[in-house]
Chains A and B, each alone.
Chain A
């Protein structure tokens, strides 16, 4: 499905601030994998997702998605295959445009431009149906500007938008970190539901070790630009938060120095 082959990313190469954010990372995702990613601040988690999404080109190694070499494919072309959510709810939507206009934009992803005027009846009905499923009452506010919604509402709509034209790969970068616990849980549940329903291969960064173990079928841990742990199957099923932290200490010979890390629920 997705293979990252020995990818390396060095920021500010040749300067005093040189930083190897990805160090020879190799990662294979199978079709339908839902992988959670954990690690300390600055471990390179976001950099890994950015490299896959094409925010920049890698300095070494190759990337393949579904058999196609995407190493040097520009970001906006990759976006046809990859859906993406960020920590900041403001990043995923256009605040001055209405909910339905935002959704219409997302629906066009992967397709060609249509020159019809406005949003068609069938399309609007479809948007309404999708919004209803969120259970946030947004189906009655489709003509409201996106900027009027709360962070959690925006993130939920962004999730809909990223998966509406089903992507081959979904990249989630702490997409619930800016939400209050109750809303975060809602969005996480929604994520699980959609990913399962549409069978989308997913890579999700989280600071909540609990949900890292609870969501998906596989967990990787990063430190200093490398993947230091990759667990799935029974090993993962029997893993506890405590044991995982122990493993981190062992592998990286340091404490998990993450100020935002949630160790318990």
Chain B
């Protein structure tokens, strides 16, 4: 029983930390309608910056600087997209590729940084609660709530409305006398800031940063986002916010279950890909099923008519 609880606790904590990635993807993929691949790089950037500051005894400042650096990374992608007119996907790939070298430099040219036995942002609550795992959970929940409140409030301001409209109908936004390019800068900065924050917190949570920890993160975030939307819905902002968190937690519980089952470790990648394909294609599959049902009833109706 205790085993199940601690298993759940760690998946939930991971889910909460990673839900910051899903928030970022919600902003770029859903609101701005751009598949932003910067994410793989900005996640690692956040982790690298956060780990470096933590080693130097400034874990909280590290988290803050990680957000700033992630936002800058988002601005670079926005610059490539809007001012240099590079295709959004290409722009993201370019920033991500460039970030690999930058991340290595941030980490002092070593592929791994260890934070073992170093104070992190989790330490204050750990001392207070006397329990490491509880502190992980409480600290990340507080951070997540802060981010969610800020993001929801932002998208309710007039500026936030403009950002939302940019992904929805660019022509309309332009004819409302709003600079579309500026809106893309803002959205991509916020999105990548949130992703970098996720990397920053994760690095301190697992007491290490790794140059390749961001690989494939865009797919994980996307899958979480879509799982959440299926479970919770996506009618309004509050629902979107809850969906992102639930989706991410469910994703990490699934992964943990898979890892506990008698499954060869080398097959996990394939399984993750399958989970993601299933969650991404869910709408198509549902529509197909509906269509076939409709066709079947249509045929039946036609038949009964024919019999008369």
Contact = CB atoms under 8 A, between A and B. Distances in A.
Given A114-B157, A116-B158, A118-B156, A109 B165 contact: no
B134 interface: no
B63 to A, nearest CB: 25
B177 interface: yes
A191 B179 CA distance: 27
B161 A105 contact: yes
11 contacts: A79-B178, A90-B169, A91-B169, A93-B169, A93-B172, A94-B169, A102-B165, A108-B178, A113-B158, A118-B156, A162-B175
Interface residues of A, number: 33
A70 to B, nearest CB: 13
A8 to B, nearest CB: 24
Given A115-B158, A117-B156, A94 B165 contact: yes
Contacts of A118: 156
Interface string B173-193: 111111110000000000000
Given A94-B169, A96-B168, A75 B157 contact: no
Interface in B139-172: 153, 156-159, 161-162, 164-165, 168-169, 171-172
Contact of A105 (B153, B171, B176, B180): B176
Contacts of B173: 94, 105
B177 A97 contact: no
B177 A80 contact: yes
A161 B172 CA distance: 11
Contact of A79 (B157, B161, B174): B174
Nearest to A115: B157
A106 interface: yes
Interface of B: 153, 156-159, 161-162, 164-165, 168-169, 171-180
Contact of B158 (A77, A78, A104, A110): A104
Given A91-B171, A92-B172, A93-B169, A101 B177 contact: no
Nearest to A81: B177
Contacts of B153: 117
Contacts of A95: 168-169
A84 interface: yes
B174 A75 contact: yes
A76 B182 CA distance: 11
Contacts of B174: 75-76, 79
A91 B158 CA distance: 21
Contacts of A90: 169
Contacts of A162: 175
Q: Which 10 A-B pairs have the closest CB atoms?
A: A79-B177, A94-B168, A80-B177, A94-B165, A94-B169, A109-B177, A118-B156, A117-B156, A114-B158, A109-B176
Interface of A: 53, 75-80, 83-84, 90-97, 101-102, 104-106, 108-110, 113-118, 161-162
Given A117-B156, A118-B156, A76 B169 contact: no
A94 B175 contact: no
A105 B161 CA distance: 7
Contacts of A109: 176-177
Q: Which of B157, B158, B168, B177 has the most CB of A within 10 A?
A: B177
Nearest to B157: A115
B178 A76 contact: yes
Nearest to A54: B174
A93 B168 CA distance: 9
Nearest to B234: A96
Contacts of A115: 157-159
B164 A97 contact: yes
Contact of B177 (A76, A92, A94, A114): A76
Given A78-B177, A105-B158, A116-B158, 16 more contacts: A79-B178, A91-B172, A93-B169, A94-B165, A94-B168, A95-B168, A96-B168, A97-B168, A104-B158, A105-B178, A106-B176, A108-B158, A108-B176, A108-B178, A117-B153, A117-B156
A108 B183 CA distance: 15
Nearest to B170: A94
Contacts of A53: 175
- The residue among B156, B168, B172 with the most chain A CB atoms within 10 A of its own CB is B172
A91 B176 CA distance: 12
Contacts of A106: 176
B190 to A, nearest CB: 15
A97 B165 contact: yes
Nearest to B169: A94
B196 to A, nearest CB: 24
A220 to B, nearest CB: 23
A108 B173 CA distance: 11
A95 B172 CA distance: 11
